[in-house]
Amino acid sequence: MYDPNMERSSDARTAPLTALRELVELADQDGHLTEAAAALGIPQSTMSRRIHALERHLGMALTVPRGRAIGLTTAAIDLVGAVRAPLREIDAALVDLAEAADPEHGRIRFGFPLTMGAGEVPDLLAVFNREHPGIRLDLKQAHGAELVADLQAGTLDLAIIIPPPPEVNHEVLARQTIIAALPDTHPLAGARSISLDRLADEEFISTPATYNLRELTDQWCRDSGFDSQVKIEVTEFSTIREFVGRGMGVALIPPAVRPVEGITEVALDGPAHAREIALCSAVRRPGRVVEHLRDFIRENAANWSNED
């Protein structure tokens, strides 16, 4: 039974839910009550009162003093972890209800990798924007780990992430073949395909060590009997291609969407050199506006698979 002391107001029935949202925000702001209250647009005193009322309701301490901030107890940390995802699902259900009357207007917060900033994603979003002009797209390019964290925090609705992250709801959209990008002047540029060990003495241009494709590059090279000699690290494939085209090294990357001057793409022999592209969602059932983009990506992502 609900404790009437929890919140003596017209929204008393929703007070525990409100306090839980505020506790999650307090955790996200590292215990800084002022910042948490500002993020939620409520007075600091109101937030403090609700969290204390939640403590009385549960019969346990959730916060402890920590200098100018507030520390969360172990019980509070466990509680935040348990309610974060259900709260996102509730918010998504409320958004879906509000959007039912006008699903062609709204906002989608969408993320995608730095390595997909040229070609497939911009092409797809341009078509989506023309077909759904009333929907605003707030876009973010970032490393996969950051996109996962944003989905978990509820600051993104959808994201394309490589490889599929087990921490969030996802579906595999496509398998992307990786090829060898060589300067046109390279001795192997005329080959139809090559084994990776033929690049053992080459200098590589690759993504940073924390990126999925770099991990795959290093592993594939080791499997072929050599350690990759990475000369230049770059976060974006378009820039990698620019350097390859200028004869500064070779690279293992996805095929270019459009021809790139100075580069020859050569297939790799042996076991499949590919990686999976996933569409990830903050909630299991997004609102209707977000569903538009999710379904649109599903319908068009088949074109991203470039395996033979």
**Domains annotated on the chain, with CATH:** 4-96 (1.10.10.10), 106-175+276-304 (3.40.190.10), 179-272 (3.40.190.10)
Interatomic CA distance for residues 20 and 55, integer angstroms = 11
Which of 78, 98, 89 has the alpha carbon at shortest distance from 24? Answer: 78
- For the residues 71-100, what does the mean pLDDT come to? 84
DSSP-derived letter for residue 71 is: E
- Is 1 a residue whose pLDDT tops 70? no
What is the pLDDT at residue 4? 39
Length of the chain: 308
Tens digit of each residue's pLDDT (9 = 90 or more) over 101-149: 788 999 999 999 988 877 789 999 999 999 999 999 999 999 999 999 9
Helix (H) or strand (E) holding 140: strand 135-142
Which of 257, 256, 243, 251 has the alpha carbon at shortest distance from 181? Answer: 251
DSSP-derived letter for residue 263 is: E
List the alpha helices (DSSP H) in 41-73: 44-58
Interatomic CA distance for residues 176 and 194, integer angstroms = 18
CA distances from 145 to 114, 191, 217 (A): 12, 37, 19
What is the pLDDT at residue 13? 55
- What is the average pLDDT score of the chain? 89
Cis peptide leading into 163, omega within 30 of 0? Answer: yes
Tens digit of each residue's pLDDT (9 = 90 or more) over 239-257: 999 999 999 999 999 998 8
Banded model confidence at residue 8, pLDDT cuts 50, 70, 90: very low
CA 257 to chain centre: 22
Tens digit of each residue's pLDDT (9 = 90 or more) over 169-196: 999 999 989 999 999 999 999 999 999 9
With pLDDT > 90 as the criterion, what percentage of the chain qualifies?
61
When mean pLDDT is compared across 73-77, 225-229, 241-245, the lowest value belongs to 73-77
Within 10 A of 160 (CB to CB), how many other CB atoms are there? 24
What is the pLDDT at residue 306? 59
- Is 36 a residue whose pLDDT tops 80? yes
Q: Is the pTM of this model over 0.95?
A: no
